[in-house]
Structure 1
């Protein structure tokens, strides 16, 4: 059955960077769909803001065009679009000057929740927070929403946190990692903590290792200058993969509340051992005819990694001796994100002469088709004795829950959590700093040793060093796209 939609109280949402790519592709279509299913009241208001000199009708038409282009097929009827854009207004502001701020303040109501969504370059976060405060727009019911990256290293993350906390309380700051808004990520917590089947086995006594993969089939074209200053470690591991690791490894929180969940995530990060250089593989994709990473980045001498794999150890009683293998990269065979939990083999094979008795593998798929699969060993049907084979217990959400409708886009869920004041799926300031404190020494070691990434072909599974990282432990990566 389709879940009942609970309308939220009227609110004012100010979208800074409203003419930008992220706003057009994700944020505005997500807001439209939440309106379309009845989650907004008629007096909710969405105020776009950027440097662009637009009036209200021009912004309304820009939004309508974005919904037609990037909205869900079959859901973007013109009547709904016409009704939605009536909620919209627009105010041009100068993020680093005084222009427009007084006008923006006059558009806001005093008796509703105010959400300030900063879909802008990170270099503008502090400027906008300062001007919101100086203009008197920050109230007890205000919330500020930030897109990653949250700093470039530990020092800059601390500086950003201090700048935000000068004007906002921690419970007013929402740091978005859109991976945490995916249905399957939340189902990981339900799978672990709402089922007595798995949690007693969720430890090093029963789990051999865990693989976390975020593979992308595209390169860095279009954002090469930014990516070359960041690399896979800063762009993906320190935030997205770290969050998936935390949710997989965390202890059960005392209750399902934002701070209880985030307390346990911070404990995981603080328990991470330093990663030895031999436990890291870095790669950079190559190509022909202007199609290599270095050409996409515009830097012929770049030593920035577009791929990284690493072996990570969580130094606590639950996970001692069970490694977590993380990998992410560009220009790989397929686009796929998953967590694969490999249970240990049975301690004794009673089926003499029967091959194929292996431990179970639980695969939590985040994209492209969200769902959960458990690999089991069964008897191969038919006569001829006890022959064993593998079989999957598959819960692809679209197949298993056909009446639930399409999954919400991650941004839809996260934006509505901002309005409701639920921070469970958002990163806390100390969590961000703990992740950078772990990542910074790894990044610094590459500069000190002057190591360079290994080149790898596009459309494969990454550099050879990544395969060796697993082979030396007697293990293998799951094939990308399995």
Structure 2
């Protein structure tokens, strides 16, 4: 149903995500006049506080996490906020929450950021309090389960109260500008799409590297690991955007239909096609850092690094490997996609002593948004000792190239889309379940074959076996 909500209910309103992302994003949208004047924001969490104390809490969060230049109209924004304490594990209190929300004039949008164990009781509480009607939509923050089975349980619970067109499953990577620019690069430029296939592309690399360790996510991460935390959602969404067929239009149904086709075409990972690791003490940027077991305070078999050789078995990508790697305590924080093209079929320059190298397209997502394309060019000179060629980079820094445009954090776009009911950048149930089916098969393989994490020192690019995974195919990881 199309409506623009005039009430926004934030579960987990006092949590870290709310402080760093949600409240700053909403304040920035209000500053730019993108929130309707009548929109009211109700926060809820276990913490006991009144409206005034929550507004002070929000002010402190905004002063820490939002640039001063985007805090215009701060007082007006804070006046939109109210708060209702709630223990979501019990039905008691949901009626009070409903009274706090009041009767929306147009509709209610709910942002649910809670532990997976609270999804079902929260939905039950919302339903009991009449907060699941036809003019209510809900946004779900990950993790949506820990397996296909648990994901289905959560989705079933949500579906009992909300139709699919009112469910917005969030993967914040889809809100990043460069991720969306990947679609523009492919489908708005005749240059790339005709060669975006197995005839011209040798392989694809997708890297999501972090320099941080456990930080405040100790309990969650040790139960999850890198495969569930990063591969199941962010990395498979990036892979789907790289590999998808052109959608018939840029709308939610068409785009998500094509992504699902890719996810269902993923071949099961076989023995020897994955490597897992766990970091030990080392150094990041010259600073000593402890090992995973030191941070955890005990030994663990949880992987903090995973590298996978994946295959999309369809007409476009048959025979093209997709190398995925992600990990914690790696040398730098970077998310990028590398499209490695094939060599030219015949070089006219070999007789003059010149060697060609294949073109490479690197799409940087974070920390810098950029596009880098390497082309072969002749080195200036008289060439009496032989002709020389070398790669020449074409670099586009997206913030510089699009100077003057407002560059927003991902949650600004996603929250606004939730309020307005635009589902294109959200994940559909069949996508989530296709991702879990592939990831569960990998973990089952590890359990059957006794795969254990290999150690790597913090500050390195994972265990040496990850390098070998690519190098035995003649591929070098882009670093």
Matched, 1:217 2:215: no
Does structure 1 conserve the Cα–Cα contact (< 8 Å) formed by 2:276 and 2:305? yes
Matched, 1:13 2:12: no
Deviations 1:40-63 (A, max 9, x none): 122210001111111000000100
1:259 pairs, out of 244, 253, 266, with: 253
2:458: which partner in 1? 458
Matched, 1:340 2:338: yes
Shift of 1:21: 0.7
Report the secondary structure of 1:403's partner residue: coil
Does structure 1 conserve the Cα–Cα contact (< 8 Å) formed by 2:6 and 2:104? no
1:317 pairs, out of 305, 315, 318, with: 315
Deviations 1:76-114 (A, max 9, x none): 35xx22121011111112212233322221233232221
Matched, 1:182 2:176: yes
Deviations 1:257-298 (A, max 9, x none): 101111111111111111112010111100068811112223
Change in 2 beyond 3 A, CA 1:153/1:381: same
2:133 pairs, out of 126, 133, 139, with: 139
Shift of 1:232: 0.5
2:94 pairs, out of 87, 101, 111, with: 101
Does structure 2 conserve the Cα–Cα contact (< 8 Å) formed by 1:225 and 1:298? no
Paired with 2:354 and 2:275, the residues of 1 have a C-alpha distance of 33
Moved more, 182-191 or 279-288: 279-288
Matched, 1:409 2:404: no
Paired with 2:14 and 2:104, the residues of 1 have a C-alpha distance of 26
Does structure 2 conserve the Cα–Cα contact (< 8 Å) formed by 1:283 and 1:462? yes
1:427: which partner in 2? 427
1:237 pairs, out of 219, 225, 231, with: 231
1:299: which partner in 2? 298
Moved more, 362-371 or 374-383: 374-383
1:396: which partner in 2? 397
Matched, 1:373 2:372: yes
Aligned length: 468
2:120 pairs, out of 110, 117, 126, with: 126
Q: What RMSD in Å do the two structures reach over aligned CA positions?
A: 1.5
Deviations 1:190-214 (A, max 9, x none): 1111111111101000000000000
Matched, 1:29 2:56: no
Shift of 1:387: 1.6
1:439: which partner in 2? 439
Paired with 2:420 and 2:39, the residues of 1 have a C-alpha distance of 14
Does structure 2 conserve the Cα–Cα contact (< 8 Å) formed by 1:48 and 1:91? yes
TM-score between the two structures when normalised by the length of structure 2? 0.95
Moved more, 102-111 or 225-234: 102-111
TM-score between the two structures when normalised by the length of structure 1? 0.94
Paired with 1:478 and 1:187, the residues of 2 have a C-alpha distance of 21
Moved more, 350-359 or 259-268: 350-359
2:55: which partner in 1? 60
1:201: which partner in 2? 195
Paired with 1:278 and 1:401, the residues of 2 have a C-alpha distance of 43
Give structure 1 stretches of 5+ with no counterpart.
Answer: 1-7
Shift of 1:148: 0.8
